[in-house]
Amino acid sequence: DADVTQTPRNRITKTGKRIMLECSQTKGHDRMYWYRQDPGLGLRLIYYSFDVKDINKGEISDGYSVSRQAQAKFSLSLESAIPNQTALYFCATSDFQGISGYTFGSGTRLTVV
Amino acid sequence: DAKTTQPTSMDCAEGRAANLPCNHSTISGNEYVYWYRQIHSQGPQYIIHGLKNNETNEMASLIITEDRKSSTLILPHATLRDTAVYYCIVRPRGLIMEYGNKLVFGAGTILRVKS
């Protein structure tokens, strides 16, 4: 099994619908992150979490919310999806300082029509 | 965080060494150099990191100049599966509470390994 698992892998949804992307990890890491990637652009941070009780906004958090249900689970929600949220979404984890690198999931390709 | 500059793209023959440069002239003493790669639409993959000494692991070698203003990632025997976007990232050492240890990804270098 992958260290960081994202579900679903692909999703097409309609404008205005609520959708949740899920992430689970077996790394035992405290820190988890949600990034989005648009064609031709780098990854941009949406939200991050230091531990179960800690949630922080990243650089592009508007229109998104997150929930850290357990150390191993971090979900991203789009309350009312819009077409410009069409993107590739990645979940990542790191240890306390992130010195040894981040581990990324395989991504969720989301299309909002 | 220090800004990095990488070439947009590079080609490399299969079996040859791929040398990917990165300039980070504004790097400070407490900042690490990290390399990640992203194979088409997959999640980024950590490759290697270093502070000031050269580093080697099973994937690659990292050469950092003495003044730390630039570095080179070396894939010793490139294969077709090494075709990817390679990101050079500089981030502070230690705990950065206000940034959550976030990584800032630039555009990277597209490496094409050709047979």
- Tens-binned pLDDT, residue by residue, of chain A (113 aa): 679 999 999 999 999 999 999 999 999 998 999 999 998 777 888 999 988 999 999 889 999 999 999 999 999 999 999 999 999 999 999 887 666 788 999 999 999 99
pLDDT (mean) for B13-33:
93
Work out the pLDDT band at B97, boundaries 50, 70, 90.
Answer: very low
Q: Given this model, what pLDDT does residue A39 score?
A: 81
Asked if pLDDT for residue B28 goes beyond 90, the answer is no
Work out the pLDDT band at B94, boundaries 50, 70, 90.
Answer: low
Asked if pLDDT for residue B62 goes beyond 70, the answer is yes
Q: Give the separation between CA A20 and CA B36, rounded to whole angstroms.
A: 27
Reduced to 3 states, what is the DSSP secondary structure of residue A83? helix
Mutate one of B39, B103, B105, B110 to test the A interface: name it (highest A CB count within 10 A): B103
Mean pLDDT of chain A: 92
Work out the pLDDT band at B107, boundaries 50, 70, 90.
Answer: confident
Distance from CA of A18 to the nearest CA of B (A): 24
How far lies A69's CA from each of A24, B101, B107, in Å? 10, 21, 33
Mean pLDDT of chain B: 89
The closest CB to that of A97, out of B87, B94, B105, belongs to B94
For A20-78, the DSSP string reads EEEEEESS--SEEEEEEE-TTS-EEEEEEEEETTEEEE-TT-TTEEEEEEETTEEEEEE
Q: Given this model, what pLDDT does residue B53 score?
A: 86
Residues in chain A: 113
Asked if pLDDT for residue B12 goes beyond 60, the answer is yes
Contact A106, A17 (CB under 8 A): no
Cα nearest neighbour of A49 on chain B: B100
